Amino acid sequence: MDCWRRHFQLETHPTKKRRYATAADSPPQLHLPQPNQEMAASVCRVGSTVGQALAKTRSPVLLSLRRGHASVSYAQSLLGAPETRLTTLDNGLRVASEETGHATCTVGLWIGAGSRYESEKNNGAGFFLEHMAFKGTKKHPQTALEQQVESMGAHLSAYTSREHTAYYMKTLAKDLPKAVELLSEVVQSCSLNEAEIEQQRGVVLRELEEVEGNLQEVCLDLLHATAFQGTPLGHSVLGPSNNARNLSRQDLVDYISSHYKAPRMVLSAAGGVNHEELVGLARSHFSGVSFEYDGDAVPVLSPCRFTGSEIRMRDDALPLAHIAVAVEGASAASPDIVPLMVANSIIGSYDLTYGGGKHLSSRLARLAVEENLCHSFQAFHSSYCDTGLLGIYFVADKHQIEDMMHWSQNAWMNLCTTVTESDVARGKNALKASLVGQLNGTTPICDDIGRHVLNYGRRIPLAEWDARIDAVTPRMVRDVCSKYLYDKCPAVAAVGPVEQLPDYNRMRSAMYWLRF
């Protein structure tokens, strides 16, 4: 999967990682429906903020309300959502915040650097740095840093993905200045002690072993490796074990000096934050971040070509097969991204634990129940700055692989040819619920702001997403899906008892229909 997140929670065993825990995280790149309670919490959050604003202004809308009636409509909630303010410092670092009036806040630094910016030699350097970040700074040794975080009652976390790295902290709003100070030290003044590097080597190797047991991670990493073979997007976020054994302190220093530049950083905050105060703190702690490259050698991302191909790791000892099939998708800033998100919502997702059975709204989910096709599936779209992966991942019994692959590709062909008005209306409603539902706290909001500013140069408000989703028509879905899906070579990754997986040529021939 695209995103590898770490959560640090203090432990007392001297040989284990010292970690701090954070509350809520979700992978940024998968557009999947969220639970209804999360959506409700997010609507209430937006609605309560609007209600507070109306109360302050003595709006006629508020005065006309009666006890027991709905206070704020969905449309009013979207239009009244707090504004995301954006300021750029002299060195190019951007400061973005959303003030919601909460007693807590999340503040973090989002950096445009990840495994895509690594070479085969230093693949895994970003992930290794993530381990080193909380092992002490030049000003605060590890113990002192832990005491500072604990005394604030804060949660300090980090994650690395293929294009982004983030360090963020959730704390009380009154402790925002201290949080920004600690984050600046973690990013700019990490001690990178040789003894700590050697200690973390073993920790990273153990985590690599643990990830091998997560077959979804393995399958989606293999999908990237075959779909973007020979390009940096094919690298895994964690890197190979050989690199973890051989990365030196100088490799880590070179990685920081090459990629941790002010124009590629966003200081993001959400919750009880004042934007002017945040800008002032950014100037105090981040004005010294360099915006120049050695010898003006500004790194330029090479295009990552997509290759229709397959990779199979057959292991008949495993109980279930994990399979992912994908085509090249749209980039994060492409105008086609919204129709593709609607298309994925039409396909939906399924798990054995779902209620509803044959009454589920997704046609593929109904088939999965009625024909016992799989244990779970999910449609996904991982978008990057210039390309993407549009696909379906499913877990199935070894005797149901062929049928599940057939109906998955059939669902794609239906999107290209026969998608109906009711399908699109249902997909749009599910997508709106997903977008609202995932913003259910200051941490996911802060993450959303940071990634949006890096990807788009601004935060796209919910009202704009809503308008763009409403503009999608069945004809648009058919045209866009035909552009990306119809008669395209897929990339396939399969792990487990996959003997029944069809031959690649047969899967390729299912990417079009012969109709007269």
Q: Are the beta carbons of 31 and 434 closer than 8 angstroms?
A: yes
Rounded CA gap, 407 and 365, in Å? 10
Distance of CA 358 to the CA centre of its chain: 31
Rounded CA gap, 133 and 203, in Å? 14
Residue among 153, 46, 146 at smallest CA distance from 101: 46
Sorted by sequence, the CB contacts under 8 Å of residue 236 that are 6+ apart come out as: 115, 123, 124, 221, 224, 225
Rounded CA gap, 126 and 420, in Å? 45
Rounded CA gap, 117 and 383, in Å? 16
Residues pairing with 156 in the sheet? 169
Q: Are the beta carbons of 182 and 145 closer than 8 angstroms?
A: yes
Which of 98, 99, 118, 130 does the annotation list as catalytic?
Answer: 130
Q: Are the beta carbons of 466 and 365 closer than 8 angstroms?
A: no
E strand intervals along 307-437: 310-314, 321-328, 349-351, 376-383, 388-396
Burial string for 141-164 (b: 16+ CB within 10 Å, else e) reads eeeebbebbeebebbbbbbbbbbb
Instruction: Give the tokens for residue 299.
Output: 């790194």
- The verdict on whether 310 is a catalytic residue reads no
Q: Identify the burial level of 37 via C-beta atoms within 10 angstroms of its C-beta, where 0-12 means exposed, 13-18 middle and 19 or more buried.
A: exposed
| Residues labelled as active-site residues | 130
